[in-house]
């Protein structure tokens, strides 16, 4: 099964897995390359791995609703305590300048934001967010999402969560910041 329109990426679903052929070849040497390809292929989330490979993840409508609920909860938290909440379209540089990850929802404290230079704030921020939330999509394995959540802690996040809406399983890593209580049922049921 495939869907293709004029000037749009080709999407194929085979054996329950989705593959995407993009309009732009994926030669992403610099952060500017990653930003350019993201702009040329709207609707897709791009992450760069340590080895330079690029992960492309289109989000389903139901998945986007769950990500939206996670973002809404972090946005409300940011309004109470400060800092900034981010949707899945925000990229963060982890472990130096190689890896760029985009959690489904995230929050960074004002204190950490203030340590960034204006130049650092203009691109992918070189930090792992204080809080990172990952919601398992139908084409992901929960084990992969758990690994990703654990990697945020290893990269400097204080708290990260992996959520599997299919099984209602939640894995938490680290310690949530003071005053943050996530409503996992609301995220799962969104």
What pLDDT sits at residue 6?
38
Structurally, at CATH architecture level, domain 60-190 sits in Alpha-Beta Complex (3.90)
pLDDT at 15 over 60: no
Mean pLDDT of 43-66: 70
Residues ≥6 apart with Cβ < 8 Å to 185: none
Residues ≥6 apart with Cβ < 8 Å to 124: 31, 34, 91, 92, 93, 100
Average pLDDT over the chain, rounded to an integer: 82
Q: What is the dihedral of CA 52, 58, 64, 67, to 10 degrees?
A: -10
For the chain, what are the domain ranges? Answer: 1-58, 60-190
């Amino acid at each position: 099964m495939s869907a293709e329109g004029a000037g749009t990426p080709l999407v194929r679903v085979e054996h329950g897995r989705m593959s995407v052929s993009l309009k732009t070849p994926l030669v992403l040497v610099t952060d500017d390359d990653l930003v350019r390809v993201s702009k040329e292929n709207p609707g897709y989330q791009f992450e760069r791995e340590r080895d330079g490979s690029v992960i492309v993840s289109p989000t389903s409508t139901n998945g986007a609703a769950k990500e939206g609920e996670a973002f809404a909860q972090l946005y409300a938290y940011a309004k109470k305590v400060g800092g900034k909440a981010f949707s899945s379209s925000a990229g963060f540089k982890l472990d130096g300048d190689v890896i760029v990850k985009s959690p489904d929802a995230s929050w960074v404290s004002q204190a950490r934001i203030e340590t960034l230079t204006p130049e650092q704030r203009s691109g992918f921020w070189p930090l792992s967010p204080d809080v990172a939330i990952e919601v398992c999509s139908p084409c992901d394995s929960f084990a992969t999402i758990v690994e990703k959540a654990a990697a945020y802690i290893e990269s400097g996040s204080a708290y990260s969560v992996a959520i599997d809406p299919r099984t209602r399983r939640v894995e938490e890593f680290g310690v949530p910041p003071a005053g943050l209580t996530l409503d996992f049922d609301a995220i799962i049921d969104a």
